[in-house]
A and B are shown apart, each in its own frame.
Chain A
Amino acid sequence: MKIRRGLAGAGVLLGLWGVWKLATTVDVHGLVRLPLWLGGAVLADDFFLVPLTVTAGWLVTRWASRPDGHRTVGTIRTTLLYVGITSLIAAPLLLRQGKGPNPTVLPRDYLRDWLLLEATIVAAGIVGYFIASRSAGNALRPATSAVVGRAWRGLRRVRRAPRCE
């Protein structure tokens, strides 16, 4: 408990120091707009980016509940995620390219490079998919398939049961 109190106390002090720094170095014009930007950052994360991944994950998992889907779902999920995160980082580069006054900032052809990067990720994903499904075809170990089959039937029973919530 002592450690927790100490940590929390130190945290509050450091935070207040930050607030003090803000108040003394940023003018009123900036200070009144900062909360909007802070709020915007939360909205962008919690009401756009994360729901997007949750929804995508849900769709992928649903798709994966067909027989043998579980063997390749990992590859698909990972590929989608990598495409998403690299595109998120690439977005400002793409938007800003060619707009600044300094030609050594953003000197690449970011559109081409982004497309190449995504193509590489997808290609790697496709290779992964075939490796995963091939090994599934060849090496169906009886124990595993029995386990999967049982779980799968169990899930279907649950699905068919009337929803009464």
Chain B
Amino acid sequence: MKLPAPPTEKSFPSSLHHPRVATVIGRWLGTAVVVCFLTGLYSHFQQDTPGWLPIPSRPATLYRVTQGLHVLSGTIAVPLLLAKLWTVYPKLFAKLPWPPSRKALETMLERASILVLVSAMALELFIGFLNTLQWYPWPFPFRQTHYALAWIIVGALLVHIAVKLPLIRANWRRIAEIVPNSLPPAISGLTRRGLFRTVAGAAALVGITSVGQSAPALGPIAVLAPRKPNIGPQGLPVNRTADAAGVTSVDDNWRFTIKGPQELSLSLDELQQLPQSRSALPIACVEGWSQGGRWEGVRIRDLLELCGAPAHSRVRVVSMEKGGFYATSELPEQFAADPLTLLALRLNGEELALDHGFPARIIAPNRPGVLQTKWVHRLEVIA
């Protein structure tokens, strides 16, 4: 018995496996990747801020928008990447160039760059999506790997564009093309416009059924989102539970300390006696979900004044949580001085739930949720 021959580049009759189609889908996928890269960089710099980069505290919902967009465009990139791979699939079976020549070497290098691009992008989308479910089945650290792969993807993408520039240009200029020889669309029902519509529809479908985790109005239909608005203690989802943070209870003689030029120690009662302010600010998680809350508490800048520190001071925030990267955080001066930034004691009209950081937490505008430190018991004025 003879095994069927392996497919070759010619085994795929559809006229849609065509460079023009690949160029158009590539443009969409490229846009999604660039949005992911820029919003991802923003998220990175929020958490590891280089000295030369002042991050403003306004607009208050900026991080909510950028990180929501990151996860949305990343999710939409899944159907786009598959569509792109589908259009160029026959190329996978193209003959390797032989005998060796300069041209052959170029072809090999090009294919290597595509291998880098496809593998990094497919893995990036996979680990990114699973991360939003708080599922980390891989043997490497998520954040560092996701960050490094992002640079590799953008690098490989530039190389890819450099290689394909003539094709891309031909597409822009609509240079006449050779009509491929295959089933006419009248029979296969396949037209380019039809394909583009279908792919755009798939992207839209995936987007609409998942964006509700960041845009609560669409929450009810967010059936493909790992988060649902209004679910959680006090109607707000939680990223790290008190249990996971090792904060099981808070005893009655709990005290809050602020160390500046003077050191003050206040009981919860005394904190509640200080002038209280309100801020309507979202929790905007690095995982892309976000939801607004009504917070009440003491302005950080009022606390700074109380302990005799200048209005523009950097502040270290210390939590009672055990270990983890986020047991301490730092409020840059523009955040500490912002009148919206609170040491919050209440959420949505009630005392904070333990999972939301009882007795006191930080809430500031335009910051990722991981830096909105919970279970705060100490502030230290750094400078």
Q: Which residue of B lies closest to A10 (CB)?
A: B158
Chain A residues whose C-beta falls within 8 Å of the C-beta of B232 in the assembled complex: 103-104, 107
Q: How far is the CA of A53 from the CA of B89 in the complex (A)?
A: 11
> CA–CA, A74 to B194, complex, Å?
8
Q: Is residue A131 contacting chain B, with contact meaning CB distance below 8 A? A: no
**Cβ-based interface call for B85 (8 A):** yes
Verify B189–A42 contact, CB threshold 8 A: no
Q: Which of A78-122 contact B (CB under 8 A)?
A: 78, 81-82, 85-86, 88-90, 92-93, 96, 99-108, 110, 113-114, 116-117, 121
Task: Determine if B108 is an interface residue (Cβ-Cβ < 8 Å).
Answer: no
Please tell me if the beta carbons of B122 and A92 are within 8 angstroms of each other in the complex: no
| B162 pairs with A11, CB closer than 8 A | yes
Contact, CB under 8 Å: A12 / B159: yes
What are the interface flags for B124-162 relative to A under an 8 Å C-beta threshold, 1 for contact and 0 otherwise? 001001100111001111001101111111111111111
A161 CB → nearest B CB, Å: 15
User: Chain B's interface: helix, strand, loop or mixed, by majority?
Assistant: helix
Residue of A nearest to B16 (CB): A57
- A8/B158 in contact, CB under 8 A: yes
Contact B201 A78 (CB under 8 A): yes
- Complex interface: chain B residues within 8 A of A53 (CB): 82, 86
Contact B145 A38 (CB under 8 A): no
Q: Which residues of B contact A108 (CB under 8 A)?
A: 223, 228
Q: Is A54 an interface residue (CB 8 A)?
A: yes
Within 8 A of B (CB), among A103-161: 103-108, 110, 113-114, 116-117, 121, 144, 147-148, 151-152, 155
What distance in Å separates the Cβ of A90 from its nearest Cβ neighbour in chain B?
6
Q: Is B178 an interface residue (CB 8 A)?
A: no
Task: Report if A33 contacts B (CB, 8 A).
Answer: yes
In the complex, 24 of the A-B residue pairs with CB atoms within 8 angstroms, ordered by the A residue number, are: A7-B165, A8-B159, A11-B155, A13-B155, A16-B155, A21-B144, A26-B148, A30-B139, A41-B126, A45-B81, A46-B92, A57-B14, A65-B188, A73-B188, A74-B189, A85-B205, A89-B224, A101-B241, A102-B238, A107-B231, A117-B223, A117-B224, A144-B186, A147-B186
Chain A residues within 8 Å of B, Cβ to Cβ: 3-8, 10-19, 21-22, 25-26, 29-31, 33-34, 37-42, 44-46, 49-50, 53-54, 57, 61, 64-65, 69-74, 77-78, 81-82, 85-86, 88-90, 92-93, 96, 99-108, 110, 113-114, 116-117, 121, 144, 147-148, 151-152, 155
